[in-house]
């Protein structure tokens, strides 16, 4: 792994609302993901985790506010968003990770050595020529992680990277993520397994269409915060328009189809991690 690569910059969310067709999916986000953070995004179904990752990856535009970030970023969407019918070999798929950096100077031989090393790091040696459509879910996930290794980006975004993956593969991939963290990269992952988050992710952003709590995992994943996240999600109105009054009112007194009553102290996602 190239240790001289670019270091990550912090990612700042400023008055951020993201959504689809002018309907917010997640809003009122303010806070900073520290450079080098290992951050879990947690929340009920529909809480806005994927939407936030898509916004950070530049796949959707901000409805309001902005995301300030710099440098290269690698993004792994949810498995069902990836077309596996495309006639690609495992080697081709992993090799796509080199596109950003590979120029004419990089020989095919050097490329293939790097790809083989990445495939070996995820336990896929011998799979180079296999069409991706023939891989099991776990093998395909490993191939995607090999592509991330080759992308070699300072910031890595993962959307539910372990869904449907067996325990051994999850352990291997968690070790890879821990190594990225140790190298100083920023890693942000949307996850549902709270035990896994507690064990492996020092920071957590708990979302329920808006930030419920953001900070050290042990302080965020409390019963009280989790209950508040459930209540907020249930109270959400899918058809609500974007909060046009927020900036004018500068507070929470604007007319809202969704319930803000559950806001508590610390709900506004300021990163309380002093370290
Ligand atoms: N392409 C889209 N078009 C319209 N609405 C969308 C789109 N993608 C997501 N949404 C809506 O945005 C909201 C947030 O969805 P999102 O996928 O971000 O949640 P999530 O926290 O990742 O959920 P899950 O845990 O179920 O994956 C949901 O109400 C969802 O229906």
- What are the φ/ψ torsions at residue 173 (nearest 5 degrees)? -75, -35
156: buried, middle or exposed (CB in 10 Å: 19+, 13-18, 0-12)?
buried
Is 263 in contact with 209 (CB distance < 8 Å)?
no
Q: How confident is the model at residue 268 (pLDDT cuts 50, 70, 90)?
A: very low
Q: Is the CB–ligand 1 distance for residue 20 below 6 Å?
A: yes
Q: Give me the residue spans of the domains in the chain.
A: 1-72+155-167+184-275, 81-152
Q: Is the CB–ligand 1 distance for residue 54 below 6 Å?
A: no
Distance 20 CA to ligand 1 centre (A): 9
Q: Give residue for tokens 């809202």.
A: 256
Q: Which residues pair with 206 in a beta bridge?
A: 42, 213
Distance 209 CA to ligand 1 centre (A): 10
Distance CA 187, CA 8 (A): 10
Is 29 in contact with 248 (CB distance < 8 Å)?
no
Q: Is the CB–ligand 1 distance for residue 239 below 6 Å?
A: no
Q: How confident is the model at residue 267 (pLDDT cuts 50, 70, 90)?
A: very low
Q: How confident is the model at residue 82 (pLDDT cuts 50, 70, 90)?
A: confident
pLDDT score of 139 more than 70: yes
Q: Is the CB–ligand 1 distance for residue 43 below 6 Å?
A: yes
Structure-model confidence comparison of residues 257 and 137, the more confident one: 137
Collapsing DSSP to helix, strand or coil, 59 comes out as coil
pLDDT score of 106 more than 70: no
Any idea which fold 1-72+155-167+184-275 has? Rossmann fold (3.40.50)
Q: Kindly give the number of the ligand 1 atom that is closest to the alpha carbon of 47.
A: 21
Helices then strands, counting H and E runs in the chain, come out as 9, 9
For the chain, give the longest Cα–Cα distance: 62
Distance CA 172, CA 150 (A): 17
Distance CA 217, CA 185 (A): 18
Q: What is the pLDDT of residues 177-229, one digit of tens each?
A: 999 999 999 999 999 999 999 999 999 999 999 999 999 999 999 999 999 99
What are the strands, taking DSSP E only, across 90-149?
none
Residue minimizing CA distance to atom 26 of ligand 1: 45
């Amino acid at each position: 792994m190239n240790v001289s690569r670019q270091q990550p910059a912090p990612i700042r969310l400023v008055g951020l609302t993201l959504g689809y067709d002018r309907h917010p999916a997640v809003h009122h986000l303010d806070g900073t993901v520290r450079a080098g953070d290992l951050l879990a995004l947690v929340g009920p179904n529909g809480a806005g985790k994927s939407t936030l990752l898509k916004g950070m990856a530049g796949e959707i535009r901000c409805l309001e506010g902005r995301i300030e970030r710099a440098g290269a970023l690698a993004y792994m969407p949810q498995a069902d968003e990836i077309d596996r019918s495309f006639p690609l070999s495992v080697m081709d798929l992993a090799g796509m990770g080199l596109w950003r950096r590979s120029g004419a100077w990089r020989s095919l031989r050097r490329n293939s050595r790097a790809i083989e090393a990445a495939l070996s790091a995820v336990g896929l040696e011998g799979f180079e020529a296999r069409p991706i459509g023939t891989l099991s879910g776990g093998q395909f996930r490993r191939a995607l992680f090999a592509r991330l290794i080759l992308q070699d980006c300072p910031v890595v975004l993962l959307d539910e990277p372990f869904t449907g993956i067996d325990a051994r593969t999850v352990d291997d991939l968690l070790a890879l993520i821990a190594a990225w963290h140790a190298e100083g990269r920023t890693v942000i992952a949307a996850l549902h397994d709270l035990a896994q988050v507690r064990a492996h992710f020092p920071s957590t952003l708990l979302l329920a269409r808006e930030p419920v709590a953001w900070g050290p995992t042990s302080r965020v994943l409390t019963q009280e915060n989790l209950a508040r996240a459930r209540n907020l999600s249930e109270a959400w109105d899918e058809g609500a328009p974007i909060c046009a009054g927020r900036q004018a009112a500068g507070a929470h007194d604007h007319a809202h189809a969704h319930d803000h009553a559950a806001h508590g102290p610390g709900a506004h996602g300021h990163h309380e991690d002093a370290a």
